[in-house]
Structure 1
Amino acid sequence: MTSPLNRNVSRGYAMLWAVVLVAISVCVSLLTAITRAYASSLMVLIGFGIAALPWVPARRRSLIACQTTVLLRADGWRADFDSLRYGMVIGRECLVACWASMAALMLLSIASSP
């Protein structure tokens, strides 16, 4: 059984990604009609963008920050708050490190669909 602190870390992480999921869903619905006419050129641009990702300094910093931990209080409401905040911090670092790859895959799926 998981501890309440672990559940709060997961909740903080999931809350951040739920907001991102809504934003991605809105972007997909808006871009679907626009990108049909420019599918081949869009796929070339996405390919170049994915190739450039490893050299983005913010991505490297975020990948390092994903591996760091912070001190959490042991009990009480402050422990719950700390673990929720830690989940959101880890989610933010994951978002900064991976958003471009996720967006590229989303756009590739739109561009390659008939």
Structure 2
Amino acid sequence: MADYLVGQGLPAQRILREDRSTSTEENMRFSRAVLEAHGIGPDAPLVMVTSDFHLLRAVRIARKAGFGAVSGVASPTPLYVRYNAWLREYFAYISGWALREF
């Protein structure tokens, strides 16, 4: 995403990177620390961009991580992986709900 944004003209020094996460939950936790280190609190407006199939669960995970003003923007999933992705996310959502991940 950073490469895309730089390619679209955004100065690289304006991009804050979180590069340690292996899951959405970790990404939200680690991103919160990165943002806070730059003076951006958890109540600042946050726009999360993720796959259309993952958006609902990702926003809920972000809210549990303490982001109070999060909204989401969906990126379309290519047709050749769409059905598999939606099926996987269906079970991930149920599992996340059952395990109280959000």
Bigger strand fraction: 2
Bigger radius of gyration among the two: 1
Settle same-fold status: TM greater than 0.5.
no
* Structure with greater contact order relative to length (CA < 8 Å, sep ≥ 6): 1
Q: Name whichever structure is richer in helix by fraction.
A: 1
Structure 1-normalised TM-score?
0.26
